[in-house]
Structure 1
């Protein structure tokens, strides 16, 4: 089979690799039909995070089950499935708490593990990890593209909103106009927020934020963005979503939070010096909540909304490539020519 591999900063290549096989009775083999390139993939692509070289890439799989191990009961060959970015057993203490990203036998896709940006994957803990899409939607391309973001960014944006305490009638500020930030806007609307203020740097992305339910948008950086958000909220919001992970975005999030408010953070931290924003948080009694999103805990509820047509994050995909086009997809996202790239191997 063929798959995309990382060979060093700025280097992605599509190569022949061994076909995946059943290694444990709890495994499944899935043929990938849809996957994506994530903003967090850019950290290693840009040389800003350690990653195995050569290493398989991609952590947002959707496809059709080809084979299952002898102990798998939840799915069978022919089922259409998607999988969260984190593999989880579904049975340990943390999975039972809904904290699947702390699974005692968990793992991530990619690196030394099978990666989703390829023709097939081996899915460990198939019963705990794979999410079945009902047969009636298995070939509905619109539904599949709307469901694919549930493997990561839609559930991550939802985690930010939940962690920030967003409820019906609230005002929320979303920091970041990438795929996660845009999904955070969708999540705030889904939870009933009355006012949603999206902060970003790109007018075209903020237009999508408006389509997703943002009542106000701010296209500015630094102090200018903070001042605009404070003016719009009359001194700050009680609910702030940090959806980037950079030091500047963390600073902005805490500066626009109202004293006593909550920042829900889900941006993968990169180069963050916590001292500055913690000083603001301490002084204003602002709560910091969130972290890596336990997608498996959210995906069933969000998938139900996708299937009934009330949730559609697919507009975040602004470029589509085949497997050979994955290196170009990375370039497009790195250079901000695409918000998120859809891959159809």
Structure 2
């Protein structure tokens, strides 16, 4: 079968690998029918050393169950399923608290970090199938597939950012970053009733989609100029919640600049830095809080799916390009060059 493999910075290939098979009684074999490239895939694509590769890529996918281990009971052959980016048993104390991305099971973890296989493949062995997989009530060729695919990561991650920040109908929100997660954080803040949503981004096609998703204001400026623009829009005080959907140090510092006193910085962009100001002059002085982390998307799927099925929201609009496996290397480059927002892969 074919799979996407990253060998080092800028070197992604689609190659033939041994077929995936069920190995443990709790496994399921899933034939992938839709996957995609994630913004977090661009971090290793831009910086991974050759000695750290090769690694299989992909952590967002939908597919059909082809086989199951003897202990799997929640899905069966022929079921169409969505696969969250974190593998979990859905039964441990952390999963019961809605923290599936912190599952305590020894086989739990993230596809890119712990699993041997990746979702940008023709088939995948899914550990802890009963806890991880969620059955979809549509056919594999449904027009809803792009939106349902976002439940595996980006919609759930954007929603987690809003939930962790405590967004309500009385909240003013700033979202830093106009990538797919940032745009779906806008959609999520709108879903939760935010009073004002400021999107900080400079790509017109993306910020236009952000407005469609619910952004009330767009600020293209960055740094001190961007901070000043947000404060002017918010009576000089900043916003109650700031979503960092980027993960770079400059985005965090920008968040510090626009967060309201007593507010929350909710980080879901994977941090690409180890240290950041949290002392008296930054967080402590004005009772600022840090929230966020890897989204437990499994916890949100049943909550968010009905709005997709009923046509209330269409998060799949973040996919602006579709390709097959032959086009995957070009898809990585297009997203790195910001000429594509998010690329859908159909085998």
Any residues of structure 2 matched to 1:53-202 within 5 Å, and which? 53-105=53-105, 106-110=108-112, 113-134=116-137, 137-202=138-203
* Residue 324 (structure 2) aligned to one of 322, 325, 335: 322
CA distance in 2, matches of 1:272, 1:328: 31
Secondary structure of the residue aligned to 1:262 is: strand
Deviation at 1:48, TM superposition (A): 5.6
What does residue 204 of structure 1 align with? 205
CA distance in 1, matches of 2:267, 2:214: 20
Tell me: CA distance 1:48–1:233, structure 2 relative to 1, closer, same or farther (3 Å).
farther
Secondary structure of the residue aligned to 2:277 is: helix
Contact 2:7-2:50 at 8 Å conserved across structures: no
Which segment drifts farther, 252-261 or 268-277? 268-277
Contact 1:175-1:249 at 8 Å conserved across structures: yes
CA distance in 1, matches of 2:140, 2:120: 20
- TM-score normalized by the length of structure 1: 0.96
5+ residue gaps, structure 1: none
Give every structure 1 segment of 4 or more consecutive aligned residues whose post-TM-superposition deviation is greater than 6 Å: none
Q: Over residues 1-48 of structure 1, what are the superposed CA-to-partner deviations in whole Å (9 max), with x where a residue is unaligned?
A: 011101111001111101111111110000001011001001101116
> In the alignment, is residue 45 of structure 1 matched against residue 61 of structure 2?
no
Q: Over residues 238-285 of structure 1, what are the superposed CA-to-partner deviations in whole Å (9 max), with x where a residue is unaligned?
A: 111111111111111121111111111111000353127874212221
What does residue 4 of structure 2 align with? 4
Deviation at 1:215, TM superposition (A): 0.7
Any residues of structure 2 matched to 1:272-283 within 5 Å, and which? 272-275=274-277, 279-283=281-285
Tell me: CA distance 1:261–1:143, structure 2 relative to 1, closer, same or farther (3 Å).
same
Deviation at 1:51, TM superposition (A): 8.7
Contact 1:199-1:217 at 8 Å conserved across structures: yes
CA distance in 1, matches of 2:205, 2:175: 16
Any residues of structure 2 matched to 1:13-52 within 5 Å, and which? 13-47=13-47, 52=52
Deviation at 1:141, TM superposition (A): 2.9
Secondary structure of the residue aligned to 1:117 is: coil
Deviation at 1:315, TM superposition (A): 1.3
Which segment drifts farther, 181-190 or 196-205? 196-205
Deviation at 1:322, TM superposition (A): 0.4
What does residue 287 of structure 1 align with? 289
Secondary structure of the residue aligned to 2:215 is: coil
Contact 2:9-2:50 at 8 Å conserved across structures: no
Tell me: CA distance 1:210–1:49, structure 2 relative to 1, closer, same or farther (3 Å).
farther
Q: Tell me the C-alpha RMSD between the 2 structures.
A: 1.6
CA distance in 2, matches of 1:296, 1:233: 34
* Residue 313 (structure 1) aligned to one of 290, 312, 315: 315
5+ residue gaps, structure 2: none
What does residue 302 of structure 1 align with? 304
